[in-house]
Amino acid sequence: MKFSGNNVLITGASRGIGAETAKVLTGFGLKVWINYNTNEKKAIEVKNDILNGSPNAKVEIIKFDAADELAYMEAFQKIINSDKKLDYLVNNAGITKDNLSMMMDISDYDDVMRTNSRSCFIGSREAIRFMARNRFGAVVNVSSVTAEMGNSGQTNYASSKGAIIAMTKSFAYEGAARNIRFNCITPGLIETDMTAELNENISERFLQKIPLKRFGKASDAAYAIAFLLSDYSEYMTGEVMKINGGMYM
């Protein structure tokens, strides 16, 4: 793929889709900033995996809580101070705290909304502020198929991911005048740490809902993100790209 930009920040990049996206984008020659909040060991492992495969890759680790406004703003400034600009952003940080709604503590609702949708808003807002200086940039926000179809026990998660879709479309309007594109992906069941914890019966039940009869790989989402950042999607903004094996059509 072709990229007119040079660097990218990926939040929540110490594992799962974020980690795989870091590997894919360094493979395309971008300098990647790997964000983590708590698991430094995993972030270092991702960096080392990238450098072991490509010693000349440009990769940095940056620690901050993506839902902390001041910390996110300081991270942007650190990247600008280092690279003079930020061309691409992937808002991927997210958590789950599942429970049936009638038994869900409001703190679990607030925590998920804070980490998932608040962080996405802060990052997208700062992206417009900084990318507007060069009148160039692209942002991909990671939502979920749950935002489109709902799921029992995930009212908080579905709400947070639905908010991401709505704000992506709104940011797309605001960014367009400044040549900054905002798009979104809605992954289905992707093989990550979370799906690895599902028992066999639950996994089989989910598989019956997926026409392609398999869980997605992190690379399926990562290459979709790469496409939406690349020059090949330069006429796409406000789009929601489904990566779900046909689970929701």
Cα 36 → chain centroid: 12
Query: Tokens 């790209």 — which residue?
Result: 241
Active-site annotation holder among 72, 109, 157, 223: 157
Closest CA to 130 of 78, 71, 85, 170: 85
Q: What's the token pair of residue 178?
A: 């400044």
Q: Which residues pair with 90 in a beta bridge?
A: 10, 140
For the question of residue 157 being annotated catalytic, the response is yes
Cα 18 → chain centroid: 6
What is the tally of helices (H) and strands (E) in the chain?
10, 7
Residue 103 CB coordination number (10 Å)? 8
Q: Which residues are catalytic?
A: 157
